[in-house]
Amino acid sequence: MRAETRKARPLSKITIDHEDDASDTTVSAQLDSTHVAPTFGELGVRDEIVRALGEVGIERTFAIQELTLPLALAGDDLIGQARTGMGKTFGFGVPLLHRITSADSGTATLDGTPRALVIVPTRELCVQVTGDLVNASKYLPGSRKNGLEVLSIYGGRPYEQQIDELKKGVDVVVGTPGRLLDLANQGHLILGKIGVLVMDEADEMLDLGFLPDIERILGMVPDRRQTMLFSATMPGPIITLARTFLSRPTHIRAEEPQSSAVHERTNQVIYRAHALDKAELVARVLQADGRGATMIFTRTKRTAQKVADDLAERGFAVGAVHGDLGQIAREKALGRFRDGKIDVLVATDVAARGIDIDDVTHVINYQCPEDEKTYVHRIGRTGRAGRTGTAITLVDWDDVPRWQLIDKALELGMPDPVETYSSSPHLYEDLGIPTQATGRIRKPARTRDDAGESSRERPARGENPSRPKRNRVRRRTVRGKVVEGRPADGAEAATTEATGTEPTDGPAQSATAPKDGHEEGTAPARRRRRRRRKPASADTTAQDTGATDTVSTSSAV
């Protein structure tokens, strides 16, 4: 039996809603194969930003960027709605950088006080957005001599370092709501000169309970500002937030009005798998043809670490990101994954929105997601930036009812996953797995260590290879005295090489002999082991008095 898959199809429509107090206007634009996206320069972006983006391979805009840039560069408030991986970061990041560094934009001159604020829900997303803004602002002037200064502020890091950076002067701040509010209440973060405010992944911040903190932060920024809100979905509280704090926003949706919430460029494969066979199944999926960077999602922290450890034992380059790891360990794993040092990352849902890597080819749901929203965010890690991807979901027997609810909510049409094991023929056919693949790959032989020196060539501990071997001599202890014996193995050769003479078979002769009769430098002959002395008797008494056995016998007679 062949598993059902949901094939990818291209994005076909863009809609624009203009919201004001009077009416709602909807404008639709059809995308076809003849449409050519404009470049950032053609849309009026500063040359410094265009140059920096070109160096990282970004020249033409995506749909959400093409629509938001003209409005955002003009200073209008807007709501950007698009699924994850559609280029929302540069959709608000480019106009933000352009406006705060342009003299004709109406914003105040940079003086080391934050002029732009980006609020994000998670630490990982904070690091990601900061990195993108740093890359785009590489050649822009700023309040410091080295250019525009972008600072990330989030929990899990010491306060002192972030406070010191704020005192030195910062132009753009990217942060999570909790830490931003703490530093603002303490007076370290000045929000009175913010000219551009961005709320990214607003629906996720709502789910995490950050809405009250966001409202407090919005009450600290000036009323005259540009506000941009970006979100994958628009639940009721987010719409209320937008109408409260945004001024006549333009609502832009870069998707079909009736399209599915999931990526159309992602092939989705659903299997009913046994818990005891999942590790073996995943190990074979990781050997599929064309498999690149892969993310594996679990529901629990313990399962995430267990899966990572198991895959490492099987020979895969794998890392883990979950709540039991410290912030430094999580950032290190993400950095290794972005740099390509590892190609498999096991994560809990905390990282589902915080990792923005365009070349993730496969996503594996090791455990069934809790709901349809979690499922969308998980598989949204692949099929990004116009690329295609594969999402594989493993459903336990107990999780079939949960999966059927997800399938019904997203209208996927795959309510009954096919029963699949690591040896099932359709698994190999669906995913392009070589028939000879097993659950374990050979680890590469490590011939050179981190220092670039072969471990086999490394000298023993405490040994200096530049020095000749010493003529080490074995030492023995006899009757509490140390006596020297023959040289250790290999020492004769060293002695011969150093002196040019052959060592003798016997011990070396000494000019004087010690008092005990042995020659110096030699060990005495080994004595026979003594027997235990018998208890005192008549014979013993006789021996002690100097009498012989014969005398003792004759006396007894």
Tokens of 363: 């996503």
In the predicted structure, residue 557 carries a pLDDT above the cut 70? no
Q: What is the pLDDT of residue 85?
A: 66
What whole-number distance in Å separates Cα of residue 321 and Cα of residue 334?
Answer: 8
Full set of structural domains in the chain with CATH: 36-253 (3.40.50.300), 266-431 (3.40.50.300)
Predicted pLDDT at 254: 74
Q: Which of 22-26, 108-112, 307-311, 491-495 has the lowest mean pLDDT?
A: 22-26
Provide the pLDDT confidence category of residue 349 given band limits of 50, 70 and 90: confident
pLDDT of residue 27: 39
pLDDT of residue 377: 81
What integer pLDDT is reported at residue 36 of this predicted model?
Answer: 81
Query: To the nearest whole number, what is the mean pLDDT of the chain?
Result: 77
Measuring CA to CA, how many Å separate 124 from each of 49, 132, 135, 357, 379?
Answer: 24, 13, 17, 12, 17
Tell me what pLDDT residue 34 has: 65
Residue 182's pLDDT band, with cuts at 50, 70 and 90, is very high
Confidence grade of residue 483 (pLDDT, cut at 50, 70, 90): low
Whether residue 46 has pLDDT greater than 90: yes
Per-residue pLDDT, 263 = 57
Tell me which amino acid residue 143 is. Answer: S
Most confident of the ranges 404-418, 476-490, 528-542: 404-418
Distance CA 125, CA 119 (A): 10
Q: Quick one: tokens of 404?
A: 């059927």
Q: Looking at mean pLDDT, say which of 30-34, 157-161, 495-499 comes out highest.
A: 157-161
What's CA 350's distance to the chain center, in Å?
Answer: 12
Whether residue 465 is predicted with pLDDT greater than 50 in this model: the reply is no
Model confidence at 442, in pLDDT bands (50, 70, 90)? low
pLDDT per residue as tens digits for the range 196-243: 999 998 888 887 789 899 999 999 999 999 999 998 778 888 888 888
d(C-alpha 393, C-alpha 365), whole Å? 5
φ, ψ for residue 125, nearest 5 deg? -65, -35
| pLDDT of 393 over the 70 cut | yes
Tens digits of residue pLDDT in 61-80: 988 899 899 999 999 999 98
- Provide DSSP, 422-442: TT-HHHHHHHT--TT--S--P
Most trustworthy range by pLDDT among 178-182, 330-334, 526-530: 178-182
pLDDT at 534: 57
The overall pTM is greater than 0.75: no
Which ranges in 169-231 belong to alpha helices (H)? Answer: 177-185, 202-207, 211-218
pLDDT of 512 reads 44
What end-to-end distance do the CA atoms of the chain give, in Å? 111
Q: Which residues of 275-289 are buried (b: 16+ CB within 10 A; e: fewer)?
A: eebbbbbbbbbbbbe
Other beta carbons less than 10 A from residue 457's beta carbon: 9
Which residues, in sequence order, are CB contacts of 187 under 8 Å at separation 6+? none
Instruction: Pick left, alpha or beta for residue 500 (phi over 0 → left; psi -120 to 50 → alpha; otherwise beta).
Output: left
Q: Is 327 exposed, middle or buried (0-12, 13-18, 19+ CB in 10 A)?
A: middle
pLDDT score at 236: 86
At 79, which helix (H) or strand (E)? strand 78-81
Is pLDDT larger for residue 545 or for residue 39?
A: 39
**Tokens standing for residue 218:** 């919005």
Tell me if residue 544 falls in helix, strand or coil. Answer: helix
Helix (H, G, I), strand (E, B) or coil at 295: strand
The segment with the largest mean pLDDT, out of 34-38, 115-119, 484-488, is: 115-119
